[in-house]
Structure 1
Amino acid sequence: MTGVQAIIATLGYVLSADGREVLMIRRDTRPDDMHFGYYNGLGGKLEPDEDVVSGLRREVREEAGIECDAVDLSGTISWPGFGRAGENWFGFLFRVPSWSGTPLQGNDEGSLHWMPVADVLAGRLPMWESDRHFLPLVFAASPSVFHGVMPFSNGRALSWSVS
């Protein structure tokens, strides 16, 4: 019997000091990007020598030019079939309530924007449709760590379950 083999990734939501805005990347540099035109948190694939928090800190440093001072685990999501070629992904999602530095305007994947959390939660930004399932858990007023499973097929979420 074999277990799930997956690409391990981080996804971080950097918050403004008052918690009302979140720094997001708009994937707008490569038209062949499967995320093209979508807003997303910051993050990416874990390197072999990293723990998930170190990986998140590195990704935020590379993508936004800032340092994460505090990192709170929001939850985990297993995304079987999410990858372009059907790869399984497993993500560790974080809130970053405290950071230092001056955010970049963008990077080689897209432009960076401070977006109102209310707009993110209301679906007023172009994003993965499936993000609406877990973002209320990430941005909850009294968050608790969640663990979800969201199978994908042909670029669309098939279902969502959380515990």
Structure 2
Amino acid sequence: MGRAMFFMVQGPPPGMNYLARIREMGSKANPFFGLMGIEVEHAGEGEAIISMTVRPDMLNGEGWLQGGVFTALADEAMVLAIYSLIGPDDRIATITESTTFIGGSREGCLYALGKVVKKGRRVVFAEGEVRDGARAGPLLTRSTAAFAVRAGHRT
């Protein structure tokens, strides 16, 4: 029987949202970033770019990057794009998300680009893309999502 690993992530201090914590604390603010080796390249004005190097332990039995990794990478890029536009005490939760798989990857660096399409008071719509090797490299996945905004929420 394997051992479970638990990470304690404290709630944000008042006035500091997820993006601010990522900028200040790096992967300590999100243990998943450390686990996957995700780096934030840019986040601001409703857009975000993150990158990650594909490792052998991320591949499926056929030798391709597992699909959930693409989805998670696009999701995080969309989330950072949204947090660049909302208030410091606002929080978001995914309502729906869909990913279309266009290509695959076995190795190298992937870039995820997240962009806010429409920001309402309670719902934000975003798009995410994962590209191979460069920000303008071959398109591998395209995601769309809707997120609920909880204004002024304190944890």
Structure number with greater Rg is 2
Q: TM-score, normalised by structure 1?
A: 0.26
Q: TM-score, normalised by structure 2?
A: 0.27
Q: More helix by proportion, 1 or 2?
A: 2
Highest relative contact order (Cα 8 Å, sep 6+), 1 or 2?
Answer: 1
